[in-house]
Amino acid sequence: MARGSSWQTMTVATSRYVVAYGVLILLSGVFLLPLLWMLSVSVQDVEGVFAQPFRWIPEQPRWENFREAVTMFPFGRYLANTTIITFSVVLLTLLSSSLVAYGFSRMRFRGRNLLFALCLSTMMLPGQVTMIPLYVAFARLGWVDTWYPLIVPALFGSPFYIFLLRQFFLTIPREYDEAAVLDGAGKLRIYWSIILHLARPALATVALFSFVGTWNDFFGPLIYINTPEKATLTLGLQMLKSQIVGTGTVQWHILMAASLLVMLPNVVVFFLAQKHFVKGLQMGGLRG
């Protein structure tokens, strides 16, 4: 009797596990299939791409496709460009947003709450509204076809990151600040050597978001960069596609190989810092 019931609960539990895993594996398959197929196409030869029926695993994987892809468009150049732009933006964003967040969370001054509300409300403004005047202004400055329009705005912080950092700074006990004051530290000193130090997890989250946003940015490079040598990976990939489609000989295996290479840094960064992504999204989602 006792054995029977425990056996029964076991089968119920087991069948629930089987169903749960079954559904999860099925859904994962749906999500992964396009990526696996992309990988497969990227190592086919031209005949393989158009073969009917399609062979998922080619007899001779053509890894040269990746080498061809990086020679068909200046991949190294674009990678370097994107890296320089992204790292500048991330660094400036961290610095400026944390300074402002410190001001909003640790300093008392007249108009603070009003200004903070204003800061938050600008998050709602769609970029299209300011895009044209900014383009015109940058054009007047002679900055079109330079990286300045992509980097310089990071000097001024970003409302969403200011918000995230402020929320985190508020959780840091004031006792740390007070102890530092007793040691004769000024506000800047407290900001630099205490708050920034203790807020490293939040800074990591902001760095990640800023990294992904800048690395993936397409609209900015699209409207500001004209010279191919100055392009970023996203813009370069789009130009490669136009070039390939334009010539009529659609070399999909090369385009897929190139796209995979462009995706790769995101995937690497994601695996290095998965925790921070999830935490950051939760912070933004729950408190926003």
Partner 1 sequence: MTHPFRTRLKRDVAGYAFIAPWLIGFVLLTAGPMAVSVYLSGTSWTMLSPPVPVGLANYETILVEDELFVTSLQNTLYYVAFSVPLCLVTSLILAIMLHQRLRGISVFRTIFFLPSITNMVAVSMLWLWVFNPEFGLLNALLELVGIEGPLWLQSETWAKPSLIIMSLWGVGGTMIVFLAALQGIPQELYEAADLDGAGRFRRLIHITLPMISPAMLFNLIIGVIGSFQVFTQAFVMTGTAQPGSEGGPNNATLFVVLYLYKKAFQEFRMGYASALAWILFFLILAVTLVQMRLSKRWVHYEAGER
Contacts of partner 1 in 135-174 (CB under 8 A): 135-137, 139, 153, 155-157, 159, 162
Interacting positions 175-204 with partner 1 (CB under 8 A): 187, 191
Residue 186 sits at φ, ψ, to 5 deg, of: -90, 180
Q: Which two structure tokens, joined as six digits, stand for 6?
A: 């425990």
Q: Closer CB to partner 1, residue 1 or residue 114?
A: 114
Our finding on whether 84 is near partner 1 (CB under 8 A) is no
Distance in angstroms (rounded) separating the CA atoms of residues 64 and 44 = 10
Tell me how many residues contact partner 1 (CB under 8 A): 94
Our finding on whether 134 is near partner 1 (CB under 8 A) is yes
Q: Closer CB to partner 1, residue 34 or residue 142?
A: 34
Q: Closer CB to partner 1, residue 3 or residue 38?
A: 38
Query: Of 262, 268, 261, 240, which Cα lies nearest the Cα of 43?
Result: 261
Contact with partner 1 (CB under 8 A) among 4, 11, 59, 109: 109
Stretch that binds partner 1, among 67-75, 177-185, 196-204, 237-245 (CB under 8 A): 237-245
Please, what is the Cα angle at 140 between 136 and 141, to 5 degrees? Answer: 120
Site string (207-236) toward partner 1, x via CB under 8 A = -----x--xx-xx--xx---------xxx-
- CA dihedral (217, 240, 236, 62) positive or negative: positive
The residue assigned the tokens 């596609």 is 241
Q: Closer CB to partner 1, residue 33 or residue 179?
A: 33
What's the min distance (Å) between Cβ of 60 and partner 1? 20
Q: Closer CB to partner 1, residue 3 or residue 207?
A: 207
Do residues 177 and 194 make contact, with C-beta atoms less than 8 angstroms apart? Answer: yes
Q: Closer CB to partner 1, residue 136 or residue 179?
A: 136
Contact with partner 1 (CB under 8 A) among 49, 85, 151, 207: 49
The residue assigned the tokens 């944390």 is 98
- CA dihedral (87, 260, 63, 237) positive or negative: negative
Contact partners, residue 97, CB within 8 Å, separation at least 6 = 157, 158, 161, 162, 165, 206
